[in-house]
Amino acid sequence: MRIAEMYRDGGFGLSIEIFPPKTEVGENNLKRTLQRVRHFEPKFISCTYGAGGTTRGKTLEWCRTIIEECNLPATAHFTCVGSTREELLQWLEEAAEVGVQNIMALRGDAPQGQDKFEAIEGGCAYANELVELIRANHPEFGIGVAGYPEKHLEAPSLDVDLQNLKRKVDAGADAIFTQLFFVNDSFFRFRDQARAVGIDRPMIAGIMPITSFERIKKITAMCGAIFPVDLAKSLESVKDDDEAQFEIGVDHAIKQCRELIEAGIPGIHFYVLNKSQAAERILGALDVAPAIPAGV
Ligand SMILES: NC(=O)C1=CN([C@@H]2O[C@H](COP(=O)(O)OP(=O)(O)OC[C@H]3O[C@@H](n4cnc5c(N)ncnc54)[C@H](O)[C@@H]3O)[C@@H](O)[C@H]2O)C=CC1
Ligand SMILES: Nc1nc(=O)c2c([nH]1)NC[C@@H]1CN(c3ccc(C(=O)N[C@@H](CCC(=O)O)C(=O)O)cc3)CN21
């Protein structure tokens, strides 16, 4: 199923994001995680491509696993980093052969060790160009793009960033998946501002459960997400207790998701980052996905 159809019925769509692990232990963990989360019957599972500026991983191989072993639609993340248009087109051919139906079209982070993203000669400089390239050559793909409720780190203002989001929508994006955020008001405000400038695609909330304070500090620094002071304080107060941090994170995510669902948003995209425990607890409290059968 393509992204455009997934959110058409006005219901609620759950989706899940993983990244390609770098070690065999990581791969085995991810396989186990996939065998669990597939029971949540998400609309799709997506796999990142060079997330956080790392070299690109085995995105399409994991998409194949999602399709064949989970029986679910796969969405491949795809960035402009380091590829010419010709190479991008070749990769899209491969994605189609694997059976990928949807692409998350991103510019990508600057490679590690480089502080700024730079387009290569013959490549794409911004995600809107990548969306155009996909639309012109592969009209059959569904396309998701990123939105930034708290502004993209490099954008001079939220207004400018919104205009750039509009370019991606005008180029043919089907839905917007937001950067992770911890403050729902950021999402609601952004959604309203987007609508006011004519952005009419479904806006899916990107949620990352906090499982450890140290890790989330690193990730929020990379994403620029606002961290509520109260939440930081309560995590800080249990900084030597991993279990307590996990509980606080799960609790916050449940409250956040409940409010979003009650507001009638079209979907939640979970950055589960290859672990299922937090997502299981959160979804178990929300009544938007089937439970994982005993014995899995
Ligand atoms: N799940 C994932 O893999 C996610 C990755 N990201 C990362 O976030 C970063 C940004 O990616 P995208 O949002 O796809 O990039 P983008 O190209 O939409 O935006 C990147 C920056 O350039 C500006 N910009 C965009 N189009 C422009 C244009 N035509 N002219 C001038 N300025 C323009 C934007 O305001 C923004 O500051 C990447 O680092 C991406 O990998 C973000 C969210 C999720
Ligand atoms: N700017 C940006 N880039 C992204 O890639 C990205 C976002 N934002 N926002 C949402 C998600 C979060 N993503 C993430 C976040 C962390 C890891 C991660 O921790 N990965 C590995 C390797 C990290 C490394 O090599 O340093 C890990 O084992 O921890 C992966 C994807 C991908 N997405």
168 domain-assigned? yes
Q: Please spell the DSSP secondary structure of 4-49, one letter per residue.
A: HHHTTTSS-EEEEEE---SSHHHHHHHHHHHHHHGGG--SEEEE-S
Residue 244 belongs to a domain with what CATH number? 3.20.20.220
Q: Clarify whether 17 is annotated catalytic.
A: yes
* Ligand 1 atom nearest to 105, measured from its CA: 14
83 domain-assigned? yes
Q: Would you say the C-alpha torsion 128, 82, 77, 87 has a positive or negative sign?
A: positive
Distance between CA atoms of 17 and 42, rounded to whole angstroms? 10
Q: What is the ipTM of this complex?
A: 0.93
153 domain-assigned? yes
User: Residue 220 belongs to what domain range?
Assistant: 3-284
Check pocket membership of 104 for ligand 2, CB cut-off 6 A: no
78 domain-assigned? yes
* Ligand 1 atom nearest to 46, measured from its CA: 1
Check pocket membership of 99 for ligand 2, CB cut-off 6 A: no
Long-range CB pairs of 185-194 (<8 Å, 24+ gap) are 186/149, 186/150, 186/226, 187/149, 187/260, 187/265, 188/263, 189/149, 190/147, 190/148, 190/149, 190/150, 190/158, 191/149, 191/265, 193/158, 193/162, 194/147, 194/162, 194/165
Tens digit of each residue's pLDDT, the chain (296 residues): 999 999 998 889 999 999 999 999 999 999 999 999 999 999 999 999 987 767 777 999 999 999 999 999 999 999 999 999 999 999 999 999 999 999 999 999 998 888 899 999 999 999 999 999 999 999 999 999 999 999 999 999 999 999 999 999 999 999 999 999 999 999 999 999 999 999 999 999 999 999 999 999 999 999 999 999 999 999 999 999 999 999 999 999 999 999 999 999 999 999 999 999 999 999 999 999 999 999 99
- Quick one: how far is CA 148 from the chain centroid? 12
Cβ atoms of 155 and 190 within 8 Å: the answer is no
- Quickly count: other Cβ atoms within 10 Å of residue 81's Cβ: 23
Number of domains the chain contains: 1
206 domain-assigned? yes
Q: How far is the CA of 196 from the centre of ligand 2 (A)?
A: 31
11 domain-assigned? yes
* Ligand 1 atom nearest to 127, measured from its CA: 17
Cβ atoms of 16 and 279 within 8 Å: the answer is yes
Enter the pTM of the model.
Answer: 0.96
Q: How far is the CA of 160 from the centre of ligand 1 (A)?
A: 12
Spot the catalytic one: 17, 129, 132, 150: 17
* Among protein residues, the one whose CA lies closest to atom 40 of ligand 1: 108
Check pocket membership of 109 for ligand 2, CB cut-off 6 A: yes
